[in-house]
Structures are given as structure tokens and as C-alpha cells.
Amino acid sequence: MANSLHYKSNLRDIFFNLFEVFEVQRHVLGQGGFAHLDEETMRDSLKQVAKVCENEIAASFVEGDRTPLQFDPATGTVTLPEGVKRSIHAWFEGGWHMLEVPTQLDGVGAPPSICWAANEMLVGSNAPVAFYAFGTFIARIIDELGTEAQKKRFVRPIIEKLWGGTMQLSEPQAGSDVGEARTKAKHVEGDVWHLTGTKCWITNGDFDAVDNIVHLVLARPEGGKPGTKGLSLFIVPKFLVNDDGSLGERNGVFVTSIEHKMGIKASATCVFEFGADKPAVGYLVGEVHDGIAQMFKVIEQARMFIGVKSMATLSTAYLNALAYAKDRVQGADLTKIMDKTAPRVRIIQHPDVRRMLMMQKVFAEGLRALATYGAFIQDQVELAGGHAHDEAKKLTRLNDLLLPLIKGYSSERVYDLLNSSLQCFGGAGFTQDWPIEQYIRDQKIDTLYEGTTHIQALDLIFRKVARDGGETLMALLGEITATIESDAGGEQLKAEKEQLGKALGQLQGILGVMMPRMQESLYHVGLHANRILESTAEVVIGWLLLKQAIVAVKKLPEAGEADRAFYEGKLAAVRFYAKEVLPNVALHKKVIEGGDLALMELPEASF
């Protein structure tokens, strides 16, 4: 039977992506702002992260799900289960939050690719604990966007005193439609404002493992424009912070209730009231009214984080299912099913179990490759001097293009595939003796967090493709074409290249069909945007699996026994994906070509 130490990391595949496929030791480590870092140090750090995640962080996975949070409405405070607090402290006491902190703030200053690899293991082992560590990123945002006074007041205290942090957008009447926000801000003096209003669905809004929590809150200044452009961003601490960094009095921002949810129960999802009984003091970030653009820096990080969370959940679910399938004896071999005396076999010998396992494997590894590719692009942006620099603009647009694939497609696909993880366990998977049922409940939120799947699809089409005339997407598809047309992989990968080439052509056909239809009615986009997101992601993932297989072909001749099995698994993965997944793109194209607007014309009474 399973216990709370459920988490199985996949360091071998993480290292394969980082050091064999993308070769960060050549292209990132030792370069520019990462000149102080080397491969050996980063490998050792990630090994240590895996160890703490598999043990101390994973230890409270079950406790956090089974032990309810305690909410005190009189004080607006949330008390966590003791085990969850121990897991949070284990992460901070190990100093692992410092990986992402820049060197000028005495952090490690690791590149995004390394940080996201560490985050994969943290969020895969215990998602609520990962959420509670969000304060470090909030400090980085204030350090980037705040005034010097704001930086002095908040940045180092958050990092050094391990304060929490949240992002606050949603309101009861304004979930996805952030522009409808009604929380108001009244100017007092300088960068000081008083906020009034209600925010809801706030992840980890309050918890008792830290001394303070710093909220980034979108609010509309009095007289501000309607819609998102009229919103500004404010730093609103739970406790006010004195000039010397010490804590002052309680601020007028209080939790009024917490949500009762189907999953991630250890994460306190809160409703907030601002300025009800006393002023809620907020500081205008950077003393500029540019709230939605500023908050998008947080939103994009959160979207990447949720995509990585989904991928990490599938990875550990697959590895748990694989271990079970190698151990569980049930039934005879299918070729001997009529022989009642035939020996019973382990279920990994059954064809359908192998099919389910391989489908999980190709996506666990394919989605990891997709996230690592996105992180590697972020590395290049930082090496080029950041998003504002001209040489980084193309890279930034590519990163932006990948985000809806990483978040939207990953979260949707993983929810489907976790059913296969559970199915491998048979009836045992439906019980709480094994972690899969909790994985499913904890992961479902990922398709809803930070913009639903359809919002991600619309973002891909309108903001990431149409806005630059398809230039960024076409450049990416050009890279895929170059890989297909190259000699890399030789005859061993000829069939897979042909299949990927067909899928690429079908994706281009989908785009060709949709462009003129967008002029006819945007309802066409609304009806088929998810298929476009899926098709784009499946082609890109197919390309990344092919690139992995090309590396495997090179490495196989000199590989030892363990590495040989690993590389052969990479060849098997791309071959399975080419046959079982890439044909989906042709189906999507056929459905889109035959689409019409009949559904939008159907009377509501007919539903």
C-alpha cells in the first residue's frame, strides 16, 4: 500500500533535457549573468532538491488533504496542519527558494531552466507547499517594478524573513473578466493609497507559517478608466512594514472566508475584504498607473507554474502506475487466456496496460520537454539583457507563444491522462490507499487557474499569432521543418519525420482555413480555438520528442546498460507518438474544415 511519500521524481529525464538536449552547460551556464554557475553545481543542487521533495515536502501530501484548514473569522487567520508547516519550513531551511533570487540580493541567481526544474519537483511533490513559497517571486516583482523606497521596505524582508505573497485579481462579479473589477483605491499621499472592495479565489491568502504576507492587488483609482486599462497595481501587506523593516500594526485587509474544494485542500483559497473596519493601506507599484501590464508579469509566471504543475503531476502518476504494473499479478497472458492453467502474469505484460503506460510516458516526457524548451528560451532572454532589449524581443515573443501551450494544453491533456494512471491500478486506484485519486482532484484546478483552457486558446490565436501577423509562429514552424529536413537521426527516424511533416502540413492547413473565417465571424474561432491550441501543441511536442530521439540515436552506440534502456525508451516514445497522437491533427483539420455556425444559431430552448 502507498504512504504519504508518494512522489517519484524523474531526475534522469530532467538532466537529459537540460544537459543533453538543450545543453544549458554550453549555452547558458558560465555565460553572462550565469557566469558563476557550472553543470556540476547545478546537477548537485537538483539532486538535493529531489531528495527534499521526495521526503520532507511529500511527507505532508496526505495530511494536507485529510486534515482541514482551521479558519478563525474573528481574526481572519488560517491555521495550517502541522505537517504542511514542517514541509514549508523544510523548503526554506534548505535555502532552495534562493535558487531563483538574483545574486545582487544574495541569491544563487540560477537561470530559469534550472529554477523550473526545481519547481517541477516541488510542485509535483506537494502543490500547496509550492504555492506557499510564492512570496519569493513577489519580492522579485517588487524588485523589478517598485520604487527604491518600496524595494527597501519589502524586497529583502520578504526574502530574508520568508514572508508569503499573493496575487489578487478576481472578484465575485469579475473572474476571467478582470476589467470588471470594482475594488477602488483612494489616494492619500505619495505612493500611499487606501483600498476598498472584495477579492475572491485568492490562493494561499492567509497562513500561519510566516510572520507576514504581501499581496499584489489590482484596484481602480477613483476616476480611473473602465476596463483593464483603468486598473493599477498596489502592494498591500497583511501587517504594515516600518521603515526599518520591522512589522507595524495590522493592515485593514482581512480574510472573511475560505473555500471548501475538491482538491489542493491544504491551499487556503480565500475571500478578502479591503477597508471594511480600518483603512487597507496599499502602495502604488513604481508610482505609475500601469496595473494590468505589471500584473501580467505575475500572471505569466503563474501560467507557466500551472503548466509545470500539471506535467509534474502526470510524471509522478505515471511512475507510480509503472511501479504498480511491474509488481501487480493479475490474469494470464492474453495469448493464453483460454488456458485456465496458464500462469498469472504481471499486468505490465497486458497490451492495454502497456498502451496506457506508453501514452502517459510520451506526454509526461513530451510536456517536460515543452516546459524545458520554454524555460530555455527564458534563459536566452535573460542572457540578452531582459525583455526590454531589442535582441530579446523575438525570444520574448516566442516565450509568449509557448505559454498557452505549456499552461492550456498541458493542464487539459494531463487531466485526461490521469484517468489512465488510475486505470492501471484497477479498483485499487479509486481508493485513498494510492495517490492517484488525490492527483486527479488536485490537478483539475489547473484547467481553470489563471485563465481557462479556452482563454489560453483565444490568447494563442489573438494575442500570440494574429497580433504579429503569424511571424513568431511561422518562425517556430520553420525550425520544425528544418529538423524534419535534416539528416539527423538517419534512417532510424525517417518514418517519424514523415509523420511529423504531415501533421505540420495539416496544422498549416488549419491556420489557412481559419484566417478567412475570422473575417466572416469570430464565432468560428470560438468554436474551434481549442482544436487549434491542441494541434499546435501536438506538433510542437512531436518535434521536441523527435529532437530527443535524435540525441538518443547519437548516444546509443556507446551507452551502458541503464542508459541504453533510457535511450531506447526515447526512440519508442517518438515512434508511439507519431502513430498514436500526430494523426489527431488530421482529424482536427477535417472537423474545422466542415465547421459552420449552426450551433450559435440554435435557440437556447433546444439545449
Supply the residues annotated as catalytic. Answer: 450
From the list 539, 566, 553, the residue with the least C-alpha distance to 490 is 553
Dihedral-angle region of residue 469 (phi above 0 means left; psi in -120 to 50 means alpha; beta otherwise)? left
Contact 117, 205 (CB under 8 A): no
CA distance 487 to 305: 36
List b or e across 155-192, with b for residues whose CB sees 16 or more CB atoms inside 10 angstroms: bebbbeebbbbbbbbbbeebeeebbebebbbeeeeebe
Q: Sign of dihedral through CA atoms 337, 343, 344, 348?
A: negative
Q: How many CA atoms lie within 13 A of 530 on its CB side?
A: 10
Strands 329-332 and 344-346: antiparallel
Residues of the chain by 3-state class (helix, strand, coil), percent to 5 = 65, 15, 25
Cell for 514? 481559419
* Three-state DSSP class for residue 219: strand
Bridge partners, residue 215, by sequence: 166, 236
Give how far Cα 472 sits from Cα of 402, 466, 479, 515, Å: 10, 10, 11, 16
List b or e across 494-503, with b for residues whose CB sees 16 or more CB atoms inside 10 angstroms: eebbebbbeb
From the list 121, 153, 143, 124, the residue with the least C-alpha distance to 14 is 121
Q: How many CA atoms lie within 13 A of 507 on its CB side?
A: 26
How long is the chain?
A: 607
Give how far Cα 428 sits from Cα of 66, 196, 328, 357, Å: 19, 50, 11, 17
CA of residue 44 relative to chain centroid, distance:
24
Bridge partners, residue 282, by sequence: 193
* Three-state DSSP class for residue 274: strand
From the list 372, 258, 325, 370, the residue with the least C-alpha distance to 24 is 372
User: Please, is 423 exposed, middle or buried when counting C-beta atoms within 10 Å of its C-beta (0-12, 13-18, 19+)?
Assistant: middle
Give how far Cα 577 sits from Cα of 109, 159, 308, 539, 588, Å: 36, 43, 21, 10, 16
Bridge partners, residue 68, by sequence: none
Q: How many CA atoms lie within 13 A of 106 on its CB side?
A: 6
Contact 298, 216 (CB under 8 A): yes
> What residues contact 324, with CB distance under 8 A and at least 6 apart?
347, 424, 425, 428, 434
H or E stretch including 374? helix 351-383
From the list 118, 111, 110, the residue with the least C-alpha distance to 49 is 118
